[in-house]
Amino acid sequence: MVEKKKDPVLAIVPKYARGDSNKAMEGVNKLQDRKLKGTIKRREKQFKEAAYKAASSEILLTEEGGFLEPEGIEKTYQLSQRALHKEVDVSTAHKMFSLDLKFGPYSIDYTRNGRHLLIGGRKGHVAAFDWQAGNLACELQLKETVRDVKWLHNETMFAVAQKKYVYIYDKTGTEIHCLRNHIEVTKLDFLPYHFLLTSIGNTGYLKYQDTSTGKLVAEHRTKLGKCDVMAQNPATAIMHLGHGNGTVTLWSPNMPTPLVKMQCHRGPVTAVAIGHSGNYMATSGMDGQLKLWDLRSYKPVQEYYTPSPASSLSISQRGLLGVGFGSHVSVWKDPFRTKQVSPYMNHLQPASTVNDVKFVPFEDVLGFGHRNGMSSVVVPGSGEPNFDALEANPFQTKKQRQEMEVHALLDKIQPEMITLDVGMVGKMDQAPVQVLNKEKKEAWEAAHPVEATELKYRARGKNSSSRRHLRKKAKNVIDQKKVELLERIENDKKERAKRRAGNPDEPATALDRFSGKKRKL
């Protein structure tokens, strides 16, 4: 008998499925509305088909990921860069380099396509270059402290956290903005889909600045003091801050208080990194611990330790964890799901201290800034082998970059949409009717403010019937009635004045101030 071959595509379909089809189809058959039933069924079928087609297009992905396969008693962590240098091709060997610079320690940043590198030395040295081709874009000596550097949405602009303010430079090194709202910033980050530059510093304020409109979107007082640990969740755009009391707080621009507060370490938090999928977080503290967290349950999944407190963490596209501690950089493979006993790779930068570790997107390379410059080492299997040219293209031309910039601006996500649940938009609001109605009412009232009507002070007593009678009478005729009326009005007036003045024999009291006219003493 010939066994029916199973479709190999079906195994990878779940990766491309948006949501659970079975859950969506629950109870559909019991629906009374036949039209609705048909619509839901048809749509689910379309979703299924789309996922299947996307999965079958995987055959077009030509590139395969890198790897290290030990033979016999070999261990991957024993492989040095020098030994690796002999094994790899020339173009990869070019990616192993070290820059000896005097203005360290250095912080570094790569663009989203991994093509361009920005380095900033504490003593004011900033350089931007296409690191693979070796073309320098600009080099600056700012002559003041540089604490952090960050590329904006593409390689034409970058932000530098300097001694007092944050500055934005273009690729030729011309200063184009000085952000005076961001004071004494220690860490910068950029949310590319929202065009938000975020900063945290000695003042403990987390600030969000929209780089497309120039507006300061939000500033949150963390109330947890000086902070120099910040990382973004690439899947949800939530900012994670690590504080001196060992907590990690999660922030969105829409809430003045942290969305989540996690007690992660017993000492100050030294570094935070979040995985590409947004599900895992790695934190390290002065207590020497390296903890890995599941961000869906906010619980630790694994705990490691480092010989000295880790100064910097980075998670690669394929889930490798890079840890910089002392003068070492170690890389852990698959550290989240299973407890690893030994690292995947090790690297020593002699007589230096590692400051900033970053994996390069779409490359098997790890770059790190240290006290004596910056180095780049090869870590096989760290980068995503197949890029999407419409999302991040390492080989993009100038024209493509410009076009992508326009599209990115058109598709800019509003900061109000940053939430813990990314799938929230377009979902049905399942709150009770009363809550929904209340929200509706509040929104309406906010949109239609009641204008404060000015109080009119109408002079009273000017239009009594006797006065009207007098007015209507001919002015030059004096008769008995008119005289009487005038007398009565005069008497009334006097009486009123007397009443208002009170009894002069009685002593003045504190309550007299409410009685209208001032009392004559």
Partner 1 sequence: MKVKVLSRSAEEATRQRSNDIHKVQRNLDPSLHPFEKAREYTRALNATKVERMFAKPFVGALSGHVDGVYCMAKHPKKLDWLVSGGGDGDLRLWSLSEQKSIWSTVGHKAMVTGVSSFLEGERFLSCSNDRTVKIWDPSTYESESESTIAPIATYTGKNAFSGISHHRSDNIFATSGSTIDIWDHDRAEPVQTLNWGVDTINTVKFNQTETNIIASTGSDRTIILYDLRTSQPVTKLILAMRTNAIAWNPMEAFNFVAANEDHNVYSFDMRKMDKSQNILKDHVSAVMSVDYSPTGEEIVTGGYDRTVRLFNARQGRSRDIYHTNRMQRVFSVLYTMDNKYVLSGSDDGNVRLWKARASEKMGPRDYRERAHLEYSEKLKEKFASVPEIRRINRHRNVPKSIKTATQRKSIMINSRKVKEENVRKHTKPENRKERIPERMKAVVGVKK
Residue ranges binding partner 1 (CB under 8 A):
15-16, 18, 54, 57-58, 60-61, 63-71, 74, 76, 79, 84, 87-89, 91-92, 193, 234-235, 237, 276-278, 362-364, 378, 380, 383-395, 397, 400, 410-414, 417, 422-423, 425-426
In whole angstroms, how close is the CB of 55 to partner 1 at the nearest point?
Answer: 8
In angstroms, the CA 185 to CA 196 distance is 15
Closer Cβ to partner 1, 428 or 521, answer by number: 428
In angstroms, the CA 151 to CA 108 distance is 10
In whole angstroms, how close is the CB of 76 to partner 1 at the nearest point?
Answer: 8
Closer Cβ to partner 1, 267 or 394, answer by number: 394
Residue whose C-alpha is closest to residue 317's, from 66, 94, 78, 133:
66
218: part of which helix (H) or strand (E)? strand 216-221
Q: Are 283 and 293 in contact (CB under 8 A)?
A: yes
168: part of which helix (H) or strand (E)? strand 166-170
Closer Cβ to partner 1, 194 or 265, answer by number: 194
484: part of which helix (H) or strand (E)? helix 480-501
What amino acid occupies position 310? A
Closer Cβ to partner 1, 137 or 379, answer by number: 379
In whole angstroms, how close is the CB of 82 to partner 1 at the nearest point?
Answer: 13
Closer Cβ to partner 1, 9 or 224, answer by number: 9
In whole angstroms, how close is the CB of 75 to partner 1 at the nearest point?
Answer: 9
Residue 467 to residues 458, 472, 479, Cα–Cα distance (Å): 17, 9, 15
Rounded to 5 degrees, what are φ and ψ at 492?
A: -55, -40
In whole angstroms, how close is the CB of 428 to partner 1 at the nearest point?
Answer: 9
Residue 382 to residues 140, 340, 363, 477, Cα–Cα distance (Å): 31, 17, 7, 111
Count of all residues that appear for the chain in the document: 521
Q: Are 160 and 146 in contact (CB under 8 A)?
A: yes
Handedness of CA 70, 76, 81, 82 (dihedral sign): negative
Closer Cβ to partner 1, 229 or 418, answer by number: 418
DSSP for residue 206: E
In whole angstroms, how close is the CB of 470 to partner 1 at the nearest point?
Answer: 47
Q: Which residues lie below 8 Å from residue 81, measured CB to CB, with a gap of 6+? A: 96, 347, 377, 378
In angstroms, the CA 273 to CA 122 distance is 22
In whole angstroms, how close is the CB of 407 to partner 1 at the nearest point?
Answer: 10
In whole angstroms, how close is the CB of 93 to partner 1 at the nearest point?
Answer: 9
Closer Cβ to partner 1, 192 or 335, answer by number: 192
Closer Cβ to partner 1, 252 or 352, answer by number: 252
